[in-house]
Every structure is written in C-alpha cells, then in structure tokens.
Amino acid sequence: MLSIDDVQKLITSEIKNTNFIKKPSNLYEPIEYTMEMGGKRVRPLLCLMAVQLFGGDISKAIKPALGLEVFHNFTLLHDDIMDNADVRRNMPTVHKKWNENVGILSGDAMLINAYQYIAQCNNKMLPEILDLFNEVALGVCEGQQYDMDFENRMDVTVDEYLEMIRLKTAILLAGSLKMGALLANADEKDAQLIYDFGINIGIAFQLQDDYLDTFGDQKSFGKKIGGDIIANKKTFLLITTLNNATLEDQTTLKSWIKADNFSEDEKINAVKSIYTKNLVDESSQKLMDKYYNNAMENIAQINGNKVIKSELIHFATKLMKRNN
C-alpha cells in the first residue's frame, strides 16, 4: 500500500521518465512541454488512491491513470487558446511559445495520446473504462462550452452555474476516482459512491476556488485576488448577486460590469462590498459546506481500506484549502 505522497512521487517519476517526443517535433515537443509544466497531478492521484481503496493493483492502473493527466493537460492547452491566455504556471502557453496552429494540432494529438494510455488497461475492463472516459471527456467539453456561453449572458441561474462546474471541473475528478474503482473491480455501489464523492468534492472545490478568488488571502491563494471580478466571470458570487441583490445594488454591479475605464482596485473593492452587503459570501460558504458534507457522507458509506479512505478525506480537505 502506498501513501498519497508515494503515489504522487510515482506519478511524477512516471511522467518524467516518459519520452513524449517523437517526429515531427512541432507536434510532440509541445506535448512534452505541457506535461512537464508540473501541477499536483490530482486526477491520476485520485485514480490510483481509488485503486488502493478497493484493493486493486496500482502497477496495472498507472497507464490509464496517466491518460487522465494527459487528457487534463490537453484541456488546459486548448482552453488557453480559447481564453487567449499568455501564461500558465509562469511559463508561456503553447500557442504563444509556438503558434496557434501548433497549439490546436498538438492538443488534438494529446487527446489521442490520452486514449492510448486509457487503452492500456486489462482488456476485459476496456469497454467499461472507455465508456466512462468518453462520457467524462465529452462532459468536460460541454462544461467549457457553457462557461464560454455564460460570458455573453447576464441571466445565468445558480442551477445553470452548478451544472457548468459539475461538467467542467467535477466529472473529471469523479471519473478519475470511478476509473480507479473499476480498475480495482469494486462493486457497482461503491463505484457510484466514489463517483458521487468526486462530484460533490469537485463542486465544493470550485465554489471555494471562486470564493477565495475574491475573499482569499493573496499569499495562501497563490493568484492575484479579484481576477474574477475584473474579468466579470460568472461565478456563484456574481450570479447570485445579479439575481437576488437589491435593485440598487444590481444597477451598481451592472455598471461596474459594463465599465471600460476603471481602477482595478476600486472595482474589486466596490464589487466585494456589494457581495458582502448582500451576504453572498456567506451563502457561497454555506453551499460549499453542503457539497463538502455530501461528499463526506458518500465516502463514509464506502466499503474500502480505512487508511486510504482517511488519506483521501485528508487530501480532499487540503485541496479545498479549508481551515478545518
């Protein structure tokens, strides 16, 4: 049995020892570049922890687990083109370092490469694993499309927002855990429970991430505070305020959204004070707690290795930067 730290080391060394580069180099170098940017490798980690939770053989699951990481990095690569992002993890994005065509095509190759890793599981399990992966992968695209659609809409509802983050963030985490369960031959009920755990943790994580983007401490959050406010990102905070605040606050908020020339700090402070005045910071934390507690109920019901279970709970809690 490997601890979560040892699994993380295993994944890191596996990626480091993989040679992603073949010919033509303009196709494959961006893949190596993207895979070596780092990151917490959360998805393969969840997959392999789920394998251990249900007593499976981690060595037979490492390749499909890597497929989840390759897939995740593919989504970042293409998302960066769509968002016109110049920098990721302090490095130039692929379409900036090379060009947009290279970004599109090497992303496509990465998606296919992800399937090559997924295919390296036990043949008997392949149909179920592939169906799961296809469903998750398509869901992530749907989530990204909703997110882009929301940019041009002022009438997004909280339910629509929750469905968007379920698709864009939560199902890949949930799918990674469920893939581990399937690879370990867990029974259907447990596979569903670990999936539900992933969905609930994923939604709670995204709500928390959005909350911290506005109300976090810059040092511990790691990103500049207020980025979502500046970009008018349709988060739970903004959507709830647009739907529920006093008419006066809605008008002020909308004028900040439309504003072209403004001091960033002034906008951040003004919007933040509308949020707190309307208590959306509190309702965000309450909703986050609800999903977090649901996740804890899910995992409590699972029949699996107790040590791994508590490691997973600890990891999920840390991931959410909660204080408890």
Site residues, a second copy (CB under 8 A)? 23-24, 26-27, 78, 81-82, 101, 104-105, 107-109, 111-113, 115-116, 119, 123, 126-127, 130-131, 134, 137-138, 141-142, 144-146, 148-149
**From residue 165, how far is each of 38, 207, 272 by CA, in Å?**
23, 9, 22
What the block records as the tokens of 112 is: 């296919």
How is residue 155 written in tokens?
């009438």
The DSSP output letter for 114 is: H
- When the beta carbons of 128 and 289 are compared against a second copy, the nearer one is 128
Q: Which is nearer to a second copy, 168 or 241 (CB)?
A: 168
- Minimum CB distance to a second copy, residue 298 (Å): 27
Instruction: Return d(Cα 186, Cα 310) in angstroms, integer.
Output: 18
- The CB-of-200 to a second copy minimum distance in angstroms stands at 23
Beta carbon nearer to a second copy, 142 or 249: 142
Kindly state the smallest distance separating residue 74's Cβ from a second copy, in Å: 8
What is the smallest separation between the CB atom of 13 and a second copy, expressed in angstroms?
Answer: 25
Q: Which is nearer to a second copy, 31 or 320 (CB)?
A: 31
Whole-Å CA distances, 190 to 122, 129, 180, 231, 246: 20, 16, 11, 40, 45
Residue 116 C-beta: closest distance to a second copy, Å? 5
User: b or e along 264-281 (b: 16 or more beta carbons within 10 Å of the residue's beta carbon)?
Assistant: eeebbebbbebbeebebb
- 1 vs 148, beta carbon nearer a second copy: 148
Single out the residue of 147, 132, 180, 181 nearest to residue 75, CA to CA.
147
